[in-house]
Structure 1
């Protein structure tokens, strides 16, 4: 065990991520010693100290004192001092740079989701880890990716100390993702009449009823013309027009299963999935609530979607963003998944994992990184009108801020917008927020 509470593997895992973000075009080697980690890049060496076990205990409970520095993205980022220093916190001695701050412990707790195993961690009725009381809440971290800010600060200081070195930045990306919780607004007679009646009784809108009735008549003749199906095509066109990667996550349940809203084994659903892919969309799995802790169930759902799509599926996002570190990560590994897009807060937009760069998740039991690559979710449509209850103007402002932050740290802005957040009362959200982003 190191001087820090983190294992050697945990330190190396975290520092490798910092090095990858700080020096994306350079070969960096990480060495872990008793009281520090060292990044070897080209001919220089960056020494990173770590908090003691007692200090880590204070950090985990939100009692650790810290200072802050203004980051490249304009955020006041907390820094935990380990050793005394003058000036910028990075002291140069020949080819060696000695950092005064712990850049390792807090990023590891966020990236590995180890914070979810700490005393006092709270979850909601769906078993989801809550923002309230999290380390992001206690230290004010949710509006910026801490690990990436640390890495970019490190790059800036290294380049200032060794001006002969130039770093080629990583191009940022914007990824638009769509969870297809509901593929059809209209279904059988009862469901169709129920949703039509809601337009009159709930929304008291004759014009909305007439629009819905016309949609029902068309979709009754051709289910592929259902408004929720058409929304998928329109979202894809908007994504492609803006140069965004577009991923659709389909539930893979069939008749008789809990929470089934469409039968992925039907020819109709399979045809819709294949058509979206032919138009340029990436098709991915939307694992059921049950599958978040059941690898065999998730494997079966993956196989069904592969049959419907006619291709291999290795990308996933859990329904309701359900995730518990041990059980869900184990299920993903059993199911043979390579990429996941689950990890964001349902009730708060921002940076749950402390990074907006793809990174391998960490297996606590084996004390080693896994082969499952996490793509952290930054923002979701329902967060703003179901949890935060903010205006469309405020939602757009926040999304633009988060997108700009991701671009500044050369990461990926990953947005979740449901295909059902398109029609009726959600039409203004689609037009004034999604289409303006």
Structure 2
């Protein structure tokens, strides 16, 4: 067990030390404000305060973990060996930055509570983040910093055996609409027909009716292929089905359609199924509860995971609504248009409510790549290179890679050509271990 001496034990301090020490490094941690207890401890120990006590591992503390509420914190990012960090704390500290304060700033999403410019959907943009502005969005810095801290502990305690993490994957399959043409109803089919004619999309019009009359396979119906892929790996895919009402933003399948319900049940036999909360459910807890109960009735078990439509978050309201409904996991956090680590980590972490100053039971899996981001690169070779780079960053710290693909990504559309191969790369990356 690691004993941490500090001048004040706060909820923030407990939260970030338990994440870094226990969840990332596998070390149990406890805290003391009593010097005598600290001196008597005969195993791993460190001090986290303003002055070093003796020759122990010492990290000079920044004020953020001892504060309450939000303040205008000055952030100066510096190069640090193979990465970057902030909250520089001088040469006397065992490590030159307060990685615990910096990790808390990123994990709590402190910057998203501060004034910023949202995009057209009201989302926090990658370009507004400190990670994007200072060029470390592509690295899971919290995990990198934790491993640097581990190195210092190993030098001080060479006989101590640390537990080893193993690289893993958690593929997300986002399903905003299970079918492109099927089960759309008379009105929507008529509207699609008129639109195809108006835009002279005669080929699409032809395919629309070939699918409707059963002569062609619906291009979005790739579920058999994905389930076959699931059978080839031990890592569970996580499907998020949209079952909310049709709206300006959400154009899914009516959840009252028996064939759609049957599809969700079939997928749930092989993969984990969560709720893709509709755009209006994000703002209205009554709608969210209705969708949760509807999904639970379909999968015949408690709903544990959710993900928001358009990857839209309203901090902290979105997460408080999930906690109220006893949803345990969220997979919304990430950037639609940028590859990287929104919270600076490739490990799951708990939601810390900055308004109430409390750690909650809601766990996040921040996704690191959405399929759309790979469309920015033109050749398949370039896409592979980008994918390899981000997976390699996760492998360096034995983290968990979380990509988001859509059901239509596996269609034969020219736009998504080569994406099956990219998905295979992800599955193979885990098998290499």
Please indicate the TM-score interval, normalised by the length of the shorter structure.
Answer: 0.7 to 0.9
Any idea what the Cα deviations from partners look like across 1:335-390, whole Å, max 9, x if unmatched? 221001111011111100111111110112210111100011111011232xx455
In the alignment, does 2:414 pair up with 1:425?
A: yes
Residue aligning to 2:263: 272
Is the CA contact (8 Å cut-off) linking 1:348 and 1:383 kept in structure 2?
A: yes
1:244–1:353: structure 2 CA closer, same or farther, 3 Å change rule?
same
Residue aligning to 2:16: 14
Is the CA contact (8 Å cut-off) linking 1:314 and 1:339 kept in structure 2?
A: yes
Task: Tell me, in whole angstroms, the C-alpha distance in 2 between the residues paired with 1:359 and 1:21.
Answer: 8
Q: Find 1:68's aligned residue among 80, 94, 98.
A: 80
Is the CA contact (8 Å cut-off) linking 1:68 and 1:79 kept in structure 2?
A: no
Residue aligning to 1:413: 401
SS state at 2:361 partner:
strand
Q: Find 2:250's aligned residue among 253, 259, 271.
A: 259
Superposition map of 1:67-86 within 5 A: 67-70=79-82, 76-78=83-85, 80-85=87-92
SS state at 1:311 partner:
coil
Is the CA contact (8 Å cut-off) linking 2:87 and 2:101 kept in structure 1?
A: no
Any idea what the Cα deviations from partners look like across 1:46-81, whole Å, max 9, x if unmatched? 43322357xx9999555x2524122xxxxx233543
Task: Tell me, in whole angstroms, the C-alpha distance in 1 between the residues paired with 2:288 and 2:127.
Answer: 29
Superposition map of 1:80-229 within 5 A: 80-85=87-92, 90=94, 99-119=95-115, 121-186=116-181, 187-188=184-185, 191=188, 214-218=210-214, 226-229=218-221
1:67–1:259: structure 2 CA closer, same or farther, 3 Å change rule?
closer
1:316–1:351: structure 2 CA closer, same or farther, 3 Å change rule?
same
Is the CA contact (8 Å cut-off) linking 2:9 and 2:31 kept in structure 1?
A: no
| Unmatched tracts of structure 2, length 5 or more | 1-5, 47-56, 427-433
Moved more, 405-414 or 346-355: 405-414
Residue aligning to 2:322: 332
Is the CA contact (8 Å cut-off) linking 1:173 and 1:413 kept in structure 2?
A: yes
Is the CA contact (8 Å cut-off) linking 2:173 and 2:238 kept in structure 1?
A: yes
Task: Tell me, in whole angstroms, the C-alpha distance in 2 between the residues paired with 1:298 and 1:33.
Answer: 47
SS state at 2:316 partner:
helix
Q: Find 1:51's aligned residue among 31, 55, 62.
A: 62
TM-score, normalised to structure 1, is 0.81
Is the CA contact (8 Å cut-off) linking 2:308 and 2:332 kept in structure 1?
A: yes
Q: Find 1:235's aligned residue among 226, 236, 256.
A: 226
Task: Tell me, in whole angstroms, the C-alpha distance in 1 between the residues paired with 2:206 and 2:284.
Answer: 44
1:219–1:420: structure 2 CA closer, same or farther, 3 Å change rule?
farther
TM-score, normalised to structure 2, is 0.82
Is the CA contact (8 Å cut-off) linking 1:291 and 1:331 kept in structure 2?
A: no
SS state at 2:409 partner:
coil
Any idea what the Cα deviations from partners look like across 1:294-335, whole Å, max 9, x if unmatched? 222211110011112222112001010110212111211122
Task: Tell me, in whole angstroms, the C-alpha distance in 2 between the residues paired with 1:195 and 1:431.
Answer: 28
Is the CA contact (8 Å cut-off) linking 1:295 and 1:330 kept in structure 2?
A: no
1:49–1:191: structure 2 CA closer, same or farther, 3 Å change rule?
same
Residue aligning to 2:429: none
SS state at 2:145 partner:
helix
Task: Tell me, in whole angstroms, the C-alpha distance in 2 between the residues paired with 1:403 and 1:272.
Answer: 31
1:157–1:252: structure 2 CA closer, same or farther, 3 Å change rule?
same
Residue aligning to 1:306: 296
Task: Tell me, in whole angstroms, the C-alpha distance in 2 between the residues paired with 1:50 and 1:10.
Answer: 13
1:215–1:60: structure 2 CA closer, same or farther, 3 Å change rule?
farther
| Unmatched tracts of structure 1, length 5 or more | 71-75, 91-98
Is the CA contact (8 Å cut-off) linking 2:62 and 2:98 kept in structure 1?
A: yes
Task: Tell me, in whole angstroms, the C-alpha distance in 2 between the residues paired with 1:311 and 1:433.
Answer: 32
Residue aligning to 1:290: 280
Shift of 1:23: 2.5
In the alignment, does 2:384 pair up with 1:396?
A: yes
Task: Tell me, in whole angstroms, the C-alpha distance in 2 between the residues paired with 1:274 and 1:112.
Answer: 35
Shift of 1:84: 1.9
